Structure 1
Amino acid sequence: MILNPPDLLTSLQSYQSNTSTVSTKLRQIVKRTPVILLVDDSITVRTQEKRILERAGYEVVTAVDGLDGYNKLNSRYFDAVISDVEMPNLDGFYLTAIIRQHQEYNELPIILVTSFASDEHNKKGMEAGANAYITKGKINQYFLIETLQILVL
Protein backbone atom coordinates (compact mmCIF):
# COMPACT_ATOMS: atom_id res chain seq x y z
CA MET A 1 0.00 0.00 0.00
CA ILE A 2 1.42 3.34 -1.05
CA LEU A 3 0.18 6.53 0.66
CA ASN A 4 0.63 9.98 -0.76
CA PRO A 5 0.94 12.37 2.25
CA PRO A 6 0.04 15.55 0.29
CA ASP A 7 -3.16 13.91 -1.02
CA LEU A 8 -4.06 12.72 2.49
CA LEU A 9 -3.58 16.22 3.87
CA THR A 10 -5.74 17.73 1.13
CA SER A 11 -8.49 15.15 1.78
CA LEU A 12 -8.39 15.82 5.51
CA GLN A 13 -8.63 19.58 5.02
CA SER A 14 -11.55 19.13 2.63
CA TYR A 15 -13.33 16.88 5.14
CA GLN A 16 -12.84 19.37 7.99
CA SER A 17 -14.10 22.21 5.81
CA ASN A 18 -17.24 20.26 4.85
CA THR A 19 -18.04 19.26 8.45
CA SER A 20 -17.58 22.86 9.55
CA THR A 21 -20.04 24.02 6.89
CA VAL A 22 -22.52 21.31 7.88
CA SER A 23 -22.32 22.15 11.58
CA THR A 24 -22.82 25.85 10.82
CA LYS A 25 -25.92 25.05 8.76
CA LEU A 26 -27.26 22.78 11.51
CA ARG A 27 -26.86 25.54 14.08
CA GLN A 28 -28.85 27.86 11.84
CA ILE A 29 -31.63 25.28 11.47
CA VAL A 30 -31.92 24.58 15.20
CA LYS A 31 -34.68 26.75 16.57
CA ARG A 32 -34.19 28.79 19.70
CA THR A 33 -36.80 30.15 22.04
CA PRO A 34 -37.74 33.75 21.17
CA VAL A 35 -36.97 36.19 23.98
CA ILE A 36 -39.44 38.96 24.82
CA LEU A 37 -38.74 42.07 26.90
CA LEU A 38 -41.92 42.82 28.88
CA VAL A 39 -42.06 46.33 30.37
CA ASP A 40 -44.89 47.24 32.77
CA ASP A 41 -44.94 49.01 36.12
CA SER A 42 -47.95 47.03 37.37
CA ILE A 43 -46.80 43.80 38.98
CA THR A 44 -50.25 42.29 38.40
CA VAL A 45 -50.29 43.01 34.66
CA ARG A 46 -46.61 42.10 34.31
CA THR A 47 -47.17 38.73 36.01
CA GLN A 48 -50.30 37.97 33.98
CA GLU A 49 -48.70 38.85 30.63
CA LYS A 50 -45.52 36.95 31.55
CA ARG A 51 -47.54 33.79 32.23
CA ILE A 52 -49.42 34.15 28.93
CA LEU A 53 -46.18 34.57 26.99
CA GLU A 54 -44.37 31.73 28.74
CA ARG A 55 -47.30 29.35 28.13
CA ALA A 56 -47.02 30.26 24.45
CA GLY A 57 -43.36 29.20 24.46
CA TYR A 58 -41.55 32.52 24.83
CA GLU A 59 -38.74 33.32 27.22
CA VAL A 60 -39.69 36.52 29.06
CA VAL A 61 -37.48 39.10 30.74
CA THR A 62 -39.41 41.68 32.75
CA ALA A 63 -38.72 45.33 33.50
CA VAL A 64 -40.55 47.53 36.03
CA ASP A 65 -40.55 50.75 33.98
CA GLY A 66 -39.24 52.25 30.76
CA LEU A 67 -35.81 53.10 32.15
CA ASP A 68 -35.34 49.57 33.50
CA GLY A 69 -36.56 48.24 30.16
CA TYR A 70 -34.10 50.35 28.18
CA ASN A 71 -31.22 49.22 30.39
CA LYS A 72 -32.21 45.56 29.98
CA LEU A 73 -32.61 45.98 26.22
CA ASN A 74 -28.96 46.98 26.03
CA SER A 75 -27.85 43.95 28.06
CA ARG A 76 -28.84 41.14 25.66
CA TYR A 77 -30.67 40.20 22.47
CA PHE A 78 -34.49 40.37 22.35
CA ASP A 79 -36.87 39.29 19.62
CA ALA A 80 -39.55 41.82 20.62
CA VAL A 81 -40.56 44.39 23.23
CA ILE A 82 -44.02 44.55 24.80
CA SER A 83 -44.49 47.72 26.82
CA ASP A 84 -47.10 49.55 28.82
CA VAL A 85 -47.44 53.24 28.01
CA GLU A 86 -48.12 54.95 31.33
CA MET A 87 -45.11 54.27 33.60
CA PRO A 88 -42.81 56.21 35.90
CA ASN A 89 -39.26 57.25 34.93
CA LEU A 90 -39.73 56.65 31.19
CA ASP A 91 -43.13 56.08 29.57
CA GLY A 92 -43.78 53.62 26.75
CA PHE A 93 -44.03 56.28 24.04
CA TYR A 94 -40.65 57.73 24.96
CA LEU A 95 -39.11 54.26 25.42
CA THR A 96 -40.26 53.36 21.90
CA ALA A 97 -38.90 56.60 20.45
CA ILE A 98 -35.51 56.09 22.15
CA ILE A 99 -35.31 52.50 20.92
CA ARG A 100 -36.03 53.64 17.35
CA GLN A 101 -33.17 56.16 17.53
CA HIS A 102 -30.74 53.24 17.45
CA GLN A 103 -30.23 51.71 14.03
CA GLU A 104 -29.61 48.23 15.45
CA TYR A 105 -33.19 48.21 16.79
CA ASN A 106 -34.94 49.38 13.60
CA GLU A 107 -36.36 45.92 12.94
CA LEU A 108 -37.16 45.10 16.58
CA PRO A 109 -40.93 44.61 16.94
CA ILE A 110 -42.47 46.84 19.62
CA ILE A 111 -46.00 46.29 20.90
CA LEU A 112 -47.58 48.90 23.14
CA VAL A 113 -50.26 47.55 25.49
CA THR A 114 -52.15 50.32 27.27
CA SER A 115 -55.39 51.50 28.79
CA PHE A 116 -55.31 54.59 26.53
CA ALA A 117 -57.93 53.77 23.89
CA SER A 118 -58.13 57.03 21.94
CA ASP A 119 -57.12 57.35 18.30
CA GLU A 120 -54.80 60.17 19.39
CA HIS A 121 -52.84 57.84 21.69
CA ASN A 122 -52.78 55.11 19.05
CA LYS A 123 -51.38 57.61 16.53
CA LYS A 124 -48.79 58.80 19.06
CA GLY A 125 -47.66 55.20 19.61
CA MET A 126 -47.31 54.55 15.89
CA GLU A 127 -45.45 57.84 15.38
CA ALA A 128 -43.04 56.86 18.16
CA GLY A 129 -42.26 53.69 16.20
CA ALA A 130 -44.49 50.97 17.66
CA ASN A 131 -45.48 48.12 15.36
CA ALA A 132 -48.75 47.45 17.20
CA TYR A 133 -50.93 49.25 19.73
CA ILE A 134 -53.25 47.10 21.84
CA THR A 135 -55.80 48.52 24.27
CA LYS A 136 -55.90 46.64 27.59
CA GLY A 137 -59.69 46.66 27.65
CA LYS A 138 -59.75 44.74 24.36
CA ILE A 139 -56.79 42.47 25.01
CA ASN A 140 -57.04 38.75 25.42
CA GLN A 141 -54.24 36.23 25.48
CA TYR A 142 -54.92 34.96 21.97
CA PHE A 143 -54.85 38.44 20.45
CA LEU A 144 -51.56 39.28 22.17
CA ILE A 145 -49.92 36.01 21.08
CA GLU A 146 -51.28 36.29 17.54
CA THR A 147 -49.96 39.84 17.21
CA LEU A 148 -46.58 38.75 18.56
CA GLN A 149 -46.39 35.76 16.21
CA ILE A 150 -47.10 37.97 13.21
CA LEU A 151 -44.32 40.38 14.19
CA VAL A 152 -41.73 37.80 15.31
CA LEU A 153 -41.35 35.53 12.28
Structure 2
Amino acid sequence: MIVDDSLTTRMLESSILESAGYQVELAASAEEGLELARQNRYGLFLVDVEMPGMDGFGFITQVRSDPQLCDIPALLVTSLDTAEHKRRGSDAGANGYIVKNEFDQTAFLAQIGELVLR
Protein backbone atom coordinates (compact mmCIF):
# COMPACT_ATOMS: atom_id res chain seq x y z
CA MET A 1 0.00 0.00 0.00
CA ILE A 2 1.19 3.49 -0.86
CA VAL A 3 0.33 6.11 1.76
CA ASP A 4 1.02 9.63 0.47
CA ASP A 5 -0.94 12.88 0.38
CA SER A 6 0.53 13.81 -3.02
CA LEU A 7 -1.51 12.45 -5.93
CA THR A 8 1.49 12.83 -8.25
CA THR A 9 3.74 10.78 -5.98
CA ARG A 10 1.09 8.12 -5.45
CA MET A 11 0.60 7.75 -9.21
CA LEU A 12 4.34 7.64 -9.96
CA GLU A 13 5.09 5.02 -7.28
CA SER A 14 2.00 3.03 -8.24
CA SER A 15 2.98 3.01 -11.91
CA ILE A 16 6.51 1.80 -11.12
CA LEU A 17 5.28 -0.94 -8.79
CA GLU A 18 2.47 -2.13 -11.07
CA SER A 19 4.88 -2.28 -14.02
CA ALA A 20 7.06 -4.54 -11.87
CA GLY A 21 4.12 -6.86 -11.22
CA TYR A 22 2.97 -5.69 -7.80
CA GLN A 23 -0.67 -5.12 -6.86
CA VAL A 24 -1.03 -1.66 -5.35
CA GLU A 25 -3.61 0.09 -3.20
CA LEU A 26 -3.50 3.79 -2.45
CA ALA A 27 -4.26 5.90 0.60
CA ALA A 28 -4.22 9.71 0.56
CA SER A 29 -3.55 10.03 4.31
CA ALA A 30 -2.08 8.07 7.19
CA GLU A 31 -5.52 7.82 8.73
CA GLU A 32 -6.99 6.34 5.54
CA GLY A 33 -4.00 3.99 5.29
CA LEU A 34 -4.55 2.69 8.83
CA GLU A 35 -8.23 2.11 8.12
CA LEU A 36 -7.41 0.13 4.97
CA ALA A 37 -4.61 -1.76 6.71
CA ARG A 38 -7.01 -2.95 9.38
CA GLN A 39 -9.41 -4.26 6.72
CA ASN A 40 -6.95 -5.92 4.31
CA ARG A 41 -3.60 -7.68 4.40
CA TYR A 42 -0.71 -5.95 2.63
CA GLY A 43 2.82 -7.05 1.87
CA LEU A 44 4.41 -3.63 2.37
CA PHE A 45 3.65 -0.07 3.38
CA LEU A 46 5.32 2.69 1.35
CA VAL A 47 4.75 5.81 3.46
CA ASP A 48 5.40 9.51 2.95
CA VAL A 49 6.82 11.26 6.03
CA GLU A 50 5.27 14.71 5.60
CA MET A 51 1.47 14.53 5.53
CA PRO A 52 -1.24 16.66 7.14
CA GLY A 53 -2.67 15.14 10.30
CA MET A 54 -0.73 12.01 11.18
CA ASP A 55 2.71 11.93 9.56
CA GLY A 56 4.58 8.87 8.31
CA PHE A 57 6.43 8.39 11.60
CA GLY A 58 3.09 8.26 13.41
CA PHE A 59 1.68 5.83 10.85
CA ILE A 60 4.57 3.41 11.32
CA THR A 61 4.41 3.76 15.11
CA GLN A 62 0.71 2.84 14.97
CA VAL A 63 1.39 -0.11 12.66
CA ARG A 64 4.20 -1.43 14.87
CA SER A 65 1.94 -1.29 17.95
CA ASP A 66 -0.85 -3.26 16.25
CA PRO A 67 -0.46 -7.07 16.63
CA GLN A 68 -2.23 -7.63 13.28
CA LEU A 69 0.07 -5.25 11.35
CA CYS A 70 3.37 -5.17 13.21
CA ASP A 71 5.13 -7.69 10.95
CA ILE A 72 4.40 -5.86 7.67
CA PRO A 73 7.50 -4.14 6.26
CA ALA A 74 7.34 -0.34 5.93
CA LEU A 75 9.49 2.05 3.93
CA LEU A 76 9.48 5.81 4.45
CA VAL A 77 9.68 8.03 1.37
CA THR A 78 10.58 11.67 1.90
CA SER A 79 12.53 14.71 0.84
CA LEU A 80 13.84 15.04 4.42
CA ASP A 81 17.45 13.88 4.17
CA THR A 82 18.85 14.43 7.65
CA ALA A 83 20.37 12.00 10.11
CA GLU A 84 17.70 13.06 12.65
CA HIS A 85 14.82 12.16 10.31
CA LYS A 86 16.44 8.83 9.41
CA ARG A 87 16.89 8.08 13.13
CA ARG A 88 13.24 8.95 13.79
CA GLY A 89 12.21 6.59 11.01
CA SER A 90 14.34 3.81 12.43
CA ASP A 91 13.07 4.47 15.95
CA ALA A 92 9.47 4.29 14.68
CA GLY A 93 10.20 0.88 13.15
CA ALA A 94 10.70 1.66 9.45
CA ASN A 95 12.54 -1.00 7.45
CA GLY A 96 14.09 1.61 5.19
CA TYR A 97 14.24 5.26 4.20
CA ILE A 98 14.06 6.49 0.60
CA VAL A 99 15.05 10.08 -0.14
CA LYS A 100 13.03 11.50 -3.04
CA ASN A 101 15.78 13.65 -4.57
CA GLU A 102 18.07 10.57 -4.66
CA PHE A 103 15.35 8.35 -6.18
CA ASP A 104 16.63 5.52 -8.35
CA GLN A 105 13.96 3.22 -9.78
CA THR A 106 16.21 0.15 -9.91
CA ALA A 107 17.33 0.59 -6.29
CA PHE A 108 13.73 1.33 -5.27
CA LEU A 109 12.45 -1.93 -6.76
CA ALA A 110 15.39 -3.88 -5.35
CA GLN A 111 14.72 -2.54 -1.85
CA ILE A 112 11.05 -3.46 -2.11
CA GLY A 113 11.88 -6.87 -3.55
CA GLU A 114 14.02 -7.63 -0.50
CA LEU A 115 11.11 -6.91 1.83
CA VAL A 116 8.09 -8.41 0.13
CA LEU A 117 7.11 -11.55 -1.71
CA ARG A 118 4.79 -11.04 -4.65
Shift of 1:105: 2.1
Segments of 5+ residues of structure 1 without an aligned counterpart are 1-36
RMSD: 0.8
Does structure 1 retain, via aligned residues, the 8 Å contact 2:61–2:92? yes
Asked whether 1:139 is paired with 2:100, we answer no
Asked whether 1:72 is paired with 2:36, we answer yes
Alignment correspondent of 2:60: 96
- The 5-angstrom pairing of residues 10-89 of structure 1 reads 37-89=1-53
The structure whose RCO (Cα within 8 Å, separation 6+) is larger is 2
- Please report the TM-score for the alignment, with normalisation by the length of structure 1: 0.74
Shift of 1:112: 0.3
Asked whether 1:115 is paired with 2:93, we answer no
Partners of 1:151 and 1:123 in 2: how far apart? Answer: 20
Segments of 5+ residues of structure 2 without an aligned counterpart are none
- Displacement over 6 Å in runs of 4+: none
| Structure whose CA Rg is larger | 1
Paired residues, number? 117
- Which whole-Å deviations, capped at 9, do the CAs of 1:100-144 have from their partners, x for residues lacking one? 001222221000010000010000001001000111111121111
Letter in structure 2 aligned against 1:135: V
Work out the percentage of aligned pairs sharing the same amino acid.
38
